[in-house]
């Protein structure tokens, strides 16, 4: 049975989280026969993360973020803005050749979504997988504004937001499983023309996105959710998970990369 490393839930800053994901990916690329990684983490302080191609100048209200003590960080992956506050974030870091996720981006999304779905269903969340993107509505700068290929939804409302990048034969996919949504705060952090537009977009957003505490049949802890998602990965992918920690090389590389993710040059590059 194939073995993956499992890095249990830990809390870091937004810059540290992005640096750790990238560091694991880089070290994995350099190391032959290295094991794929499934990692879980949280964010402290809360952070607004931007997709790689998003415009900071056009979409972020810097003053509002400062007043609310919200960090702003740019992800290496695409997609739209996510407010990381009350959530369990997962990341999957594997070579493109890994048999359990090989194929196109859409195919790997499906496999990972199936594993996440197993975990969510096991804790009583009636989620399902969306098989096709809604391309008729452009949405807003917020990630959870509309489902995309093989996202997880409850009654049509997006529950998990994921993004993937591929670089030099490596895959990094990470995503947010929101336990509680402060959507009003999210829309205060985004730069919008006026309050009327803000209220209208917020109303539309609430009709298309949800958090776990809106759809679960009973309260679920992060530890329980993480455990069931691990079971989902084991079952769907036919793998074994071995509890692990960051290696010395990964820690060193992450320390080097955190400066990049903390820098204005990176965060405000678009």
- Residue 230 annotated in active site: no
Closest alpha carbon to 144 in 91, 209, 192, 85? 209
Instruction: Collapse the DSSP code of 58 into the 3-class scheme (helix H, G, I; strand E, B; otherwise coil) and give the result.
Output: helix
Structural contact between residues 79 and 67, judged by C-beta atoms closer than 8 angstroms: no
Contacts 24+ apart (CB under 8 A), 213-218: 213/179, 213/180, 214/181, 215/125, 215/126, 215/127, 215/154, 215/155, 215/157, 215/159, 216/123, 216/124, 216/125, 217/124, 217/125, 218/124
The structure tokens 């779905």 sit at: 117
What does the DSSP 8-state code read for residue 196? H
Strand ranges (E), 96-186: 128-129, 152-154, 157-167, 170-180
CB 171 within 8 A of CB 92: yes
Catalytic-role residue among 65, 143, 210, 230: 143
Provide the 3-class DSSP secondary structure of residue 86: strand
- Give the CA distances from residue 111 to residues 47, 92, 118, 170, in Å, rounded to whole numbers and listed in that order: 28, 11, 11, 16
- Catalytic amino acids? 143
């Amino acid at each position: 049975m194939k073995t993956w490393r499992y890095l249990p839930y830990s809390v870091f800053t937004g810059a540290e989280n992005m640096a750790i994901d990238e560091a694991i990916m880089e070290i994995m690329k350099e190391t032959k026969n290295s094991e794929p990684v499934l990692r879980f983490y949280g964010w402290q302080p809360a952070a607004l993360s931007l997709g790689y191609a998003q415009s900071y100048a056009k979409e972020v209200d810097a003053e509002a973020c400062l007043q609310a003590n919200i960090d702003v960080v740019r992800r290496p992956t695409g997609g739209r803005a996510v407010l990381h506050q009350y959530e369990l974030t997962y990341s999957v870091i594997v070579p493109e050749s890994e048999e359990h996720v090989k194929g196109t981006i859409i195919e790997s999304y499906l496999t990972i979504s199936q594993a996440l779905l197993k975990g969510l269903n096991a804790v009583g969340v009636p989620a399902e997988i969306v098989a096709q993107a809604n391309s008729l509505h452009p949405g807003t700068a917020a990630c959870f504004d509309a489902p995309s290929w093989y996202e997880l939804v409850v009654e049509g409302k997006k529950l998990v937001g994921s993004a993937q990048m591929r670089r030099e034969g490596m895959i990094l996919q990470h995503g947010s499983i929101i336990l509680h949504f402060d959507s009003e705060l999210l829309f205060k952090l985004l730069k919008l023309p006026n309050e009327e537009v803000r209220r209208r977009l917020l109303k539309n957003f609430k009709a298309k996105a949800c958090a776990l505490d809106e759809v679960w049949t009973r309260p679920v802890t992060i530890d329980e959710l993480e455990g069931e998602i691990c079971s989902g990965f084991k079952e769907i992918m036919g793998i074994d998970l071995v509890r692990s920690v960051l290696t010395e090389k990964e820690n060193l590389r992450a320390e080097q990369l955190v400066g990049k993710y903390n820098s204005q040059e990176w965060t405000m590059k678009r």
